[in-house]
Amino acid sequence: MSDPPKDKSQRREKRTGKAPSEGSHGVRGKDTTGKTKDSISTVSFMDELGHHEDNARIPVKMENTYQMGPYKRFPVPAVTDILKDVLTSYLQEEKYEVEWSQKMTKTICEVIRARVKDLMIPRYKIVVLVHISQLAGQSMQISSRCLWDASNDTFASYSFKNSSLLGVATVYAVYFE
């Protein structure tokens, strides 16, 4: 005669000193608090709701192209024209105010980035920096550092000045191999 499966799992538990896990035939109960009882398990509960993000990004797998340089170079004169147009249109008649300049730098950055991306230059990462300062007889020095490939990476910059403010916009184009 064979024992029922419940008795076998209890014997195995006595012999090995381990409680049954989720995959065994042992009975597994749940508390109302969501914690398990009557077993010890090392299984994580990632399948339960609330333990993983629904908006998780799925990584895109791309094949190597073995392309060492850009097919289309970054058009510095066209980007400089974009910078001139955007800075002139947004800052021409404005007076410097602190709160306004904080909001305007974000707006100008977004507009410049959208217009540069409309040029559809493949394989370049675009970084846009905009500085707006008050003209009050002071000087301003802007510097930046990064890992740079002089043969493929480039930048475009334009500065605008009116009676009360100075605006400087810089677009860095870093080639992505």
Burial of 63 (0-12, 13-18, 19+ CB in 10 A): exposed
Q: Where are the domains of the chain?
A: 1-61, 76-175
Going by C-beta distance under 8 Å and a sequence separation of 6 or more, which residues neighbour residue 52?
A: 46
Check whether 112 has a pLDDT greater than 80: yes
Instruction: Tell me which of 3.30.1140.40, 3.90.1010.10, 3.40.630.150, 3.30.300.20 is the CATH number of domain 76-175.
Output: 3.30.1140.40
Going by C-beta distance under 8 Å and a sequence separation of 6 or more, which residues neighbour residue 30?
A: 36, 37
d(CA 62, CA 41): 39
Please give the pLDDT value at position 59.
Answer: 82
| Contact between residue 169 and residue 130 where contact means Cβ atoms under 8 Å apart | yes
Please give the pLDDT value at position 44.
Answer: 44
Average pLDDT, the chain: 79
End-to-end CA distance of the chain, in Å?
Answer: 70
Which of the residue ranges 1-5, 77-81, 123-127 has the most confident prediction, judged by mean pLDDT? Answer: 77-81
Percent of the chain with pLDDT over 70: 68
d(CA 127, CA 172): 5
Cα–Cα separations (whole angstroms), residue 102 to 84, 116, 132, 133: 20, 22, 8, 10
